[in-house]
Amino acid sequence: MPNAQNAAHPAFRKLRSQAVESLNIVVEEYEHIRTGAQHIHLAANNPENVFLVALRTVPEDSTGVAHILEHTALCGSKRYPVRDPFFMMTRRSLNTFMNAFTSSDWTAYPFASVNRKDFNNLLDVYLDAVFFSRLDPLDFAQEGHRLEYAEAANPSSELQYKGVVYNEMKGAMSSVNSQLWQTLTKYLFPSNTYHNNSGGEPSCIPDLSYEELVQFYKTHYHPSNAIFMTFGDLPAAELQEKFENQALKEFDKLDVTIDVANEKRYFAPVRVEEHYPLNEEDLSHKTHIVTGWLLGQSINLEDALTAHLLSSVLLDNSACPLMQALETSTLGQAPSPLCGLDDSQKEVIFVCGIAGTDRDQSDAVEALLLDTLKKVAEDGIPLEDLEAALHQLELQQREVGGDSYPYGLQLILNGLTAATHRGDPVALLNIDSALAKLREKIKDPTFIPSIITKWLLDNKHRVTLTLTPDAQLNATKEAAEKEQLAKIKASLTPKQSQQIIEQAQALLDRQAQVDDDSVLPKVTLDDVPAAETIISPAFEKRLPQSEFSLYGYNAGTNGLVYQQVVCDMPTLDDDLLPYLPFYTSLLTEVGIGSKNYLDVQRWQAQVSGSLGAYSSLRGSVDDTQKLNSFITLSGKALGSNQQSLSELMLATINEARFDETDRIKELIAQMRSSREQSVTGSGHGLAMQGASKGISPGAQLSFNLTGLQGIRHLKALDKSLSDTKTLSAISQKLNQIHQAVMAMPKRFMVVAEEQPLASYTKHFANKFDQPPAASASVFTPQFNAHLTQEAWLTNSQVNFCAKAYPTVASDHPDAAALVVLGNVMRNGFLHRAIREQGGAYGGGAGQDSNNGAFRFYSYRDPRLAETLADFDKAIDWSIETTHSWQSIEEAILGVVSSLDKPDSPAGGAKRDFHAMLNGRTPATRQRFRERLLATQESDLKRVAQTYLKGQTAHTCVISDKNKEEETKAIGLTSELL
């Protein structure tokens, strides 16, 4: 355990200190004496220090004021009067995380770094940005919204809305899931802030004035309304000295309390119908029907944990009664993606429902939900299922994360909801005693039935939403926007028209200006370690019978064990290969031996934290036309369940069966629903995948299996499953793949703490050491390079654009320079052209060494042809511009930051293991690092000239179906998604 820091800075008073042994942290709580600002410090023996400052932000409308303010506050401050300090610091930093978030009731500014100098640099900039923001009107116009003429200096041309957040939210609200959630909360919360879209409703964003933004800032971005949260090995007093000297000493207490009002309760359940846009001819089976309840205050730990337990036993897996009812129902295609519990707001929300149904099924869906809940209330839940659910809660509490974003930030965000609503954040981090109480309560067979009756069946604050598709809705919205803009244009005086033109030019001038960035602190290559920290296995053990290797990794897993079985990819016939994604998704969801899938789901919940399978396809380090391909079965558990986890994994590999055809049909329908809804959230990745497909076999396989072609195949497959012969044929294909996988060479990995590692690996080896199967051929893909010029059309209010060029593999001498070139292009040209001037939410370029492709992309982009042209201009710019050493150094720092980002203890071991499997040895990684640190301007110009200039680009865009003529005009072949 870390040592608690007893002394606070004189400007703060210490309120309490409490050790949380299950997390190996000490939670210290302080209050700033003068302003009342709260500081919660999670003291940990961890060099990755994390900072977050959160402000309670409670918007009263859907203009997106909190979201636009989050963007605008990062566009310059008192001590750092440059136009873009946030993005400039991302280039001058070794941060492991750096971002800003707008939630429904708070706005937060977090970052993390393992470098002490870098941490202090970022702290200076963040404190100034939050509490002394300039809020320049031109930044508001750029980030929020503005009026511009289509031809900037021509007042007779069409008037348009522009703005980064405006386009971001157009993209965000193209997602059906976002519309579903936003519409449901609008009715669940009829009177408080959650009724509004905190991100901003596109039709409402233009209603926000600059003056309203400034006023919101003055009341909400004040220390009296601030929560400082920190994690790591820096002492609280040292951090508080920075808080005080850099910001807090300038403020007095503000006599304003920002709070979320308690929501009023309905006296009877509410049923509503609304619509979402879907530009398709056949709208059948495209309706979403969900029911939501408010369960009470999220800051009540006992109630919150009980709500998690309730959600878990009802919905966690296919054996849970409510999930089983939704999955097996013929009323729709799949359970709603909203199914589950949300405790991120003042009140806990429980939601369940069905996707892929029809509007006339509303009564039937609601009856299904209520009848299932009544049956559970009458019959109860078996004690072993309740214990399995508590086991999952304990495992989630103990696991040390850090792979997706820093572990310290995960803990901070876990406590932030309570802090926001003036509850007890320590309680939400230290749940062991509350879990112990729950273990006693579940022994009473009436406990869960009484909770279901009280919180769900008898709860009148219930909303059932039917969200139906409307093929004309987008066109209606666009027509309304054009009509509104036409009215605005007609009402403009010559002076107002000239002001719009002048603002557009002033913004262009501001975007083009070169700021004196010497005012910003920075790290340099002198602060970069010459070598990365290498994680290596504690031992490699050759299994005598199987002749395969088992690798054991010693890591601080806080009592958990992680295990993997990795098989070489078998050769699969052309009729089997497209079914590989279904095989890996279904492998852990079907029956095993004599157990049906429901028995297996219960088994998994009792002994494991998770069990899943996936395939990986990576080009070789020296030739991307050669493929390293594997199938991995991965599981984790509490150490006490290690032997049970091994038995489960062995049974899955040896005895998984694919004969439960109804189950297969249900799961494919669920996969289709999920993948269809993922396009607007990951469109840039899908577009880059599409642009690269003609360059390497790995890119083509990814495109065909999990990319745009894979989604199209999944949709067609799902439609065909009403035919029992087709379903039976799929079952046979999945079994054929499984038999081929079982015969392949395997490697094994165990990650655990040092003391039990030897015994864990011994037991794992005893289970898996079996004589090798008959030899099988390793997968070698067939591939012919070809040019891609495609537009994939779907339902989206924004575009995703990508271009790709063939390059080299990761161990080629030019790979490092290409990686740096991508950052130089993004920092120096694309950020300004694509985001600031073009209005896209994001854009950039980068080298994909796994597939030997250099790729440009844009994300949630209002433009098409102009963006593709900007990609070309970026190439010319990179060759013709003289690049300062600072710009090159910043680009290198960005790469180093991503390379050196800490993983979770288990994640680091897994990364090393799979790097080894793919030939990325410590020697090859060090060679790349040395080339990276030695990159010069001449290298950048040479690789741009060699691989990009004058070469034919592979192009892929994702756009709306009404953009077909526009995409054809730029030479792209249309494909319907």
pLDDT digits (tens, 9 = 90+) for 378-400: 999 999 999 999 999 888 888 88
Architecture per CATH, 789-976:
2-Layer Sandwich (3.30)
Say what percent of the chain tops pLDDT 90.
Answer: 82
CA-to-CA separations, 599 to 339, 437, 595, 606, in angstroms, rounded: 22, 28, 6, 11
| CA 460/CA 366 separation, integer angstroms | 14
Comparison of pLDDT for 648 and 1, the residue scoring more: 648
Convert the pLDDT of each residue in 671-686 to its tens digit: 998 888 888 889 999 9
The pLDDT, as a whole number, for residue 4 is 54
List Cβ neighbours of 487 (8 Å cut-off, separation of 6 or more).
none
Q: Has residue 774 got a pLDDT over 70?
A: no
Average pLDDT over residues 454-478: 95
pLDDT at residue 665, as a whole number = 93
Q: What is the mean pLDDT of residues 541-556?
A: 87
Q: Which CATH number fits domain 270-470: 3.30.830.10, 3.30.1020.10, 3.40.630.30, 3.40.50.12500?
A: 3.30.830.10
In angstroms, the Cα distances linking 187 to 180, 183, 732 are 11, 7, 47
Q: What's the token pair of residue 754?
A: 């040092």
**Average pLDDT, rounded, for the chain:** 93
pLDDT, residue 281, reads 83
| Mean local confidence (pLDDT), 5-14 | 87
Paired tokens of 965: 């003529």
Of the listed ranges 225-239, 497-511, 769-783, the least confidently predicted one is 769-783
- The rounded percent of the chain whose pLDDT value lies above 70 is 99
pLDDT exceeds 70 at position 72: yes
The reported pLDDT for the residue numbered 513 is: 86
Same-fold call for 270-470 versus 789-976: yes
Chain segment 433-453, per-residue pLDDT in tens: 888 899 999 999 999 999 999
Is the per-residue pLDDT at 860 higher than 70?
yes
Domain boundaries, the chain: 270-470, 542-768, 789-976
Kindly state the tokens that stand for 325. Answer: 């009812």
Task: For domain 542-768, say whether CATH 3.30.830.10 is its number.
Answer: yes
Task: Decide if pLDDT at 619 tops 70.
Answer: yes
Q: Give the pLDDT band (50/70/90) at residue 242.
A: very high
**Does residue 930 carry a pLDDT above 90?**
yes
Residue 94 has pLDDT above 80, yes or no: yes
Q: Flag whether pLDDT at 5 surpasses 70.
A: no
Q: Quote the pTM value.
A: 0.93
| pLDDT value at 662 more than 80 | yes
Amino acid at position 625, single letter: Q
**pLDDT at residue 6, rounded to an integer:** 62
706 Cβ neighbours under 8 A, 6+ residues apart? 581
pLDDT at 517 over 90: no
The Cα-based distances of 83 to 72, 277, 295, 501, 502 in angstroms read: 10, 37, 45, 21, 19
The pairing of strands 789-794 and 954-960 is parallel
Mean pLDDT score, 183-203? 96
Q: Looking at residue 402, what is its pLDDT?
A: 83
And the tokens for 560? Answer: 């958990």
pLDDT exceeds cutoff 90 at 232: yes
- Under a CB-based contact definition with an 8 Å cutoff, are residues 277 and 477 in contact? yes
Separation between Cα atoms, residue 301 and residue 90, nearest integer Å: 37
Range with lowest mean pLDDT among 6-10, 98-102, 306-310, 639-643: 6-10
Pairing of the two strands 462-470 and 270-277: parallel
Q: pLDDT category, 514, cuts 50, 70, 90?
A: confident
Token pair for residue 562? 């992680």
* pLDDT of 772 strictly over 80: no
Amino acid, single-letter form, for residue 463: V
Report, as an integer, the average pLDDT of 94-115.
Answer: 95
- Please name which of 232, 625, 197 lies closest in space to residue 408, comparing C-alpha atoms: 232
pLDDT of residue 175: 86
**H-state helical runs in 173-282:** 176-188, 210-220, 236-246
Banded model confidence at residue 1, pLDDT cuts 50, 70, 90: low
Note the pLDDT of residue 129.
97
pLDDT at 424 over 80: yes
Confidence (pLDDT) at 253: 95
Those residues with Cβ within 8 angstroms of residue 297's Cβ, 6 or more apart along the chain or in another chain = 303, 346, 347, 348, 421, 423
- What's the pLDDT score for residue 780? 85
Helix ranges, 492-521 (H):
494-512
Rounded CA-CA distance 660/101 in Å is 44
The pLDDT of residue 638 is 94
Structure confidence at residue 405 (pLDDT): 86
Taking 70 as the threshold, does the pLDDT of residue 3 lie above it?
Answer: no
